[in-house]
């Protein structure tokens, strides 16, 4: 099972696989939220995140990766209303995200979801202007900007 480290105090420390996989899952979680308003324009960054996670997955099964890519961009999703269409897009994208995380060894349990939410809240609190870091990697004002993220 994937271990998400909670502390990175050495500025020169390279991030290990688990830390990078967790960050990539956080990025996909943000994409899921973005597609709640409708299909989103894909970027090279999204392609990279999906390719990275596939390279780290413990399976050759691509279905969750391919379906995630398709659903976030789908402009012609069949539904009774725009509300239903948005709900279906987010629900299916989140299901794919859960499968992607699992294939990389990360269980999307409540603890993991809370950690992702904490990371995203921390980034939002900064106005999104600083790189993504784990929620408890450094306390604010304690020289916590040393760790590359």
Torsion angle of the four alpha carbons 113, 117, 120, 121, in this order, in degrees rounded to the nearest 10: -170
- Residue with the bigger pLDDT between 128 and 19: it is 19
For the whole model, what pTM was predicted?
Answer: 0.75
63 to each of 67, 85, 103, 136, how far by Cα in Å?
6, 21, 11, 33
| Cα–Cα distance, 16 to 25 (Å, whole number) | 15
Provide the pLDDT for residue 86: 85
Provide the pLDDT for residue 145: 34
pLDDT at 7 over 70: no
Tokens 């995630």, located at residue: 68
Query: Across residues 14-28, what is the average pLDDT?
Result: 92
pLDDT in tens, 133-149: 444 443 333 333 333 33
pLDDT in tens, 73-114: 887 777 677 778 788 899 999 999 999 999 999 999 999 999
pLDDT in tens, 43-65: 999 999 999 999 999 999 999 99
| Cα–Cα distance, 132 to 101 (Å, whole number) | 18
Provide the pLDDT for residue 146: 32
Alpha helices in 1-149 (DSSP H): 17-34, 44-56, 63-73, 82-103, 110-125
In 49-85, which positions are buried (b, 16+ CB within 10 angstroms) versus exposed (e)?
Answer: bbebbbebbeeeeeebbebbbebbebeebeeeeeeeb
């Amino acid at each position: 099972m994937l271990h998400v480290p909670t502390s990175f105090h050495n500025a020169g420390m390279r991030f290990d696989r688990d830390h990078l996989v967790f960050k990539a899952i956080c990025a996909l979680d943000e994409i899921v939220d973005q597609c709640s308003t409708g299909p989103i324009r894909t970027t090279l960054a999204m392609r990279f995140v999906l390719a990275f996670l596939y390279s780290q997955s413990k399976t050759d099964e691509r279905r969750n990766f391919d379906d995630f890519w398709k659903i976030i961009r789908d402009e012609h999703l069949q539904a009774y209303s725009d509300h239903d269409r948005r709900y279906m897009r987010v629900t299916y994208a989140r299901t794919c995200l859960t499968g992607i995380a699992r294939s990389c060894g990360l269980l999307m349990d409540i603890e993991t979801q809370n950690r992702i939410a904490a990371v995203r809240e921390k980034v939002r609190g900064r106005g999104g202007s600083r790189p993504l870091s784990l929620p408890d990697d450094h306390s604010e004002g304690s020289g916590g900007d040393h760790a590359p993220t």
